[in-house]
Amino acid sequence: MSLIQLHENSKDRRFYDDSADLYAILKATETLEKAYARDAVGGDEYEKLCVKLISQFKSTVSALKIDPSSFCSTYTADCPRAVNRLIHTGVPATTLHAQVNDSDESVRVAECVQFFITLMDSVRLEQRAADDLHPMLSDLMSSVTLIPGVPEDVTGGVERWLVRLNGMKAAEELDEEQGRELLFDLDKSYNGFHRFLKERNERK
């Protein structure tokens, strides 16, 4: 009985191998997300595994040069949690919904302010590549969600830009209008953050 050849040359073989890897990454992420939602895996372990899967996903998609959403439709990869994590947000759930620990809140506030300033300065200096901005937005989101009670009008804009940049290719850049829009949203979030801190202090 002869074997059925799925590929005719090394290029085809790489495509099938990478496609199989991508499918496996989607399924693994779906399983991880379900486990985290059910408290079957701790936050630290989840985050470590999720960051690794996100990195592998981006690398594999880049090698395949395909639209990951189309891939999911073509190969009927029923992985809604993985699609949200890998394609839409691009960061672990712990980044968007961080668990607050007992460390000094004044330190967290100072770090958050520094992340805001660094990111806004970078945008003002016309740093617009997705692979430059996404990590800074991720750091900001991780920081701001560690502060209890921060309203959605502060975090919402940051999260929307995380999703937007995650949908871009690494080397893709925001145009001038998009850069101004990002800076406007960041400035609005930053002012909202200060307003939140002021109002909270007045209530004490």
Alpha-carbon gap, residue 87 to 165, rounded angstroms: 10
Alpha-carbon radius of gyration of the chain:
20
| Helix, strand, or coil (residue 129) | strand
Q: Which range (14-23, 58-67, 90-99, 126-135) has the least confidence?
A: 90-99
Judge if pTM exceeds 0.75: no
**Beta bridge mates, 129:** 173
| Alpha-carbon distance values, 15 to 8, 12, 132 (Å) | 11, 5, 28
Which residue intervals of the chain bear CATH 1.20.120.1130? 98-203
Please name the CATH architecture into which domain 98-203 falls. Up-down Bundle (1.20)
pLDDT tens readout for residues 95-148? 887 665 545 678 889 999 999 999 999 999 999 999 999 999 999 998 998 888
Contact between 108 and 146 (Cβ < 8 Å): yes
Alpha helices (H) along 65-175 = 68-74, 80-82, 93-96, 105-124, 130-144, 152-166
The residue among 129, 131, 45 whose CA lies nearest residue 93 is 45
**List of residues 6+ apart from 137 with CB closer than 8 A:** 119, 158, 161, 162, 165
| Sign (positive or negative) of CA dihedral 15, 78, 24, 26 | positive
Alpha-carbon gap, residue 71 to 90, rounded angstroms: 17
Which residue intervals of the chain bear CATH 1.20.1440.200? 10-89
Count of Cβ atoms closer than 10 Å to residue 185 Cβ: 15
Tokens of 76: 């009927």
CATH number of 10-89: 1.20.1440.200
Average the pLDDT over 7-21 and give the result: 81
